[in-house]
């Protein structure tokens, strides 16, 4: 494909990612600083001969990077598939990447099996059911498999596991951005489903002064200033591995299956019986 044909194709489609096509031409997508950080981590991961899933793939910048790094199979899913990727980028690169218009919540191991590597960038904070989403991701990942999560992170209550779940105009980004874990909240949640966080970095953080002023205003219940939300968030990049041995088996059974935990406790615990006996006597 010559330069004129490439430029004609660029005019046909809308692009989200800035993807280099050759020494002269890059697709006219959005230049987000976080994307280069994600790509840097991907290049540090063990991708060669691995089966890779990219959740929320859009134009496929991470899919194509995985293919360059020697992945044996790359699948991308998005609930609004990119025509630019399907009709132009995949043919242009003569790529074997496969993309499907599919919602994460509809994805099971029956669709494509399990994966050695999963990319999950820029998606979690858009999901209304985050715990279910993370459970699905864990189920799709092979034991010992690698997981990259990049998402927006709440910069508040750092010592407690927190999830900020706004609706409408209550959030810092807009109505479709509804899930903001703080770092501890996300790490603890991942541990509970057998995903061990190996490393994580926060980026695009606000200055100390700006964050301090926001915290003062929130003390007085002020949520917005000049039309801007005062919730403090940044971006977080988490490198993880599947390790089912870290799961608390009793809690896992309690959350996911039927169980006898309450019955055993009631039967064996004298204090439990005394507690209810005392309450009944007071009535």
In this predicted structure, what is the pLDDT of residue 169? 83
In this predicted structure, what is the pLDDT of residue 209? 58
In this predicted structure, what is the pLDDT of residue 31? 76
Query: How many Cβ atoms from other residues are within 10 Å of residue 145's Cβ?
Result: 22
Query: How many Cβ atoms from other residues are within 10 Å of residue 173's Cβ?
Result: 15
Query: How many Cβ atoms from other residues are within 10 Å of residue 204's Cβ?
Result: 14
In this predicted structure, what is the pLDDT of residue 260? 81
Give residue limits of the domains in the chain.
Answer: 3-206+232-282
Model pLDDT for residues 31-55, shown as the tens digit of each residue: 788 999 999 999 999 999 999 999 9
Fold of 3-206+232-282: Rossmann fold (3.40.50)
Q: In the block, which residue shows the tokens 């700006």?
A: 210
In this predicted structure, what is the pLDDT of residue 1? 87
Model pLDDT for residues 151-185, shown as the tens digit of each residue: 999 998 889 999 999 998 888 888 999 999 999 99
Burial class (CB in 10 A: 0-12, 13-18, 19+), 57: buried
Beta-bridge partners for 153? 234
- CA-nearest of 32, 186, 232, 191 to 122 is 32
Contact 151, 181 (CB under 8 A): yes
In this predicted structure, what is the pLDDT of residue 200? 98
In this predicted structure, what is the pLDDT of residue 277? 63
In this predicted structure, what is the pLDDT of residue 22? 96
| Beta strands 180-181; 228-229: pairing state | unpaired
- CA-nearest of 276, 257, 249, 280 to 265 is 276
Q: What is the full per-residue pLDDT of the chain (283 aa) written as tens digits?
A: 899 999 999 999 999 999 999 999 999 998 788 999 999 999 999 999 999 999 999 999 999 999 999 999 999 999 999 999 999 999 999 999 999 999 999 999 999 999 999 999 999 999 999 999 999 999 999 999 999 999 999 998 889 999 999 998 888 888 999 999 999 999 999 999 999 999 999 986 665 656 666 666 666 555 565 556 667 899 999 999 999 999 999 999 999 998 887 788 777 776 656 656 655 555 5
CA quadruple 200, 204, 210, 213: dihedral positive or negative? Answer: negative
**pTM of the full predicted structure?**
0.88
């Amino acid at each position: 494909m010559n330069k004129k044909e490439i430029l004609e194709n660029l005019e046909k489609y809308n692009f989200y990612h800035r993807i280099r096509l050759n020494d002269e031409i890059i697709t006219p997508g959005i230049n987000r600083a976080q994307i280069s950080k994600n790509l840097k981590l991907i290049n540090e991961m063990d991708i060669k001969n691995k089966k890779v899933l990219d959740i929320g793939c859009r134009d496929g910048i991470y899919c194509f990077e995985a293919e360059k790094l020697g992945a044996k199979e790359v699948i991308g899913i998005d609930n609004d598939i990119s025509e630019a990727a399907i009709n132009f980028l995949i043919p242009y690169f003569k790529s074997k990447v496969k993309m499907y218009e599919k919602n994460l919540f509809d994805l099971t191991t029956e669709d494509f099996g399990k994966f050695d590597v999963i990319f999950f960038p820029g998606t979690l904070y858009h999901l209304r059911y985050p715990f279910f989403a993370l459970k699905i991701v864990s189920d799709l990942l092979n034991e010992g498999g690698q997981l990259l999560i990049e998402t927006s992170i709440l910069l508040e209550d750092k010592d407690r596991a927190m999830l900020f779940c706004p609706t409408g105009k209550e959030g810092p980004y807009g109505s479709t951005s509804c899930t903001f874990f703080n770092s501890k909240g996300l790490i603890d949640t991942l541990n509970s489903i057998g995903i061990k966080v190996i490393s994580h970095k926060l980026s695009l953080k606000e200055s100390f002064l700006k964050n301090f002023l926001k915290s003062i205003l929130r003390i007085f219940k002020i949520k917005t200033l000049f039309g801007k939300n005062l919730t403090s968030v940044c971006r977080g990049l988490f490198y993880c591995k599947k390790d089912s041995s870290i799961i608390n088996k009793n809690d896992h059974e309690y959350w996911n299956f039927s169980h006898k935990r309450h019955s055993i406790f009631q039967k064996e615990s004298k204090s439990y019986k005394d507690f209810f006996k005392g309450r009944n006597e007071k009535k």
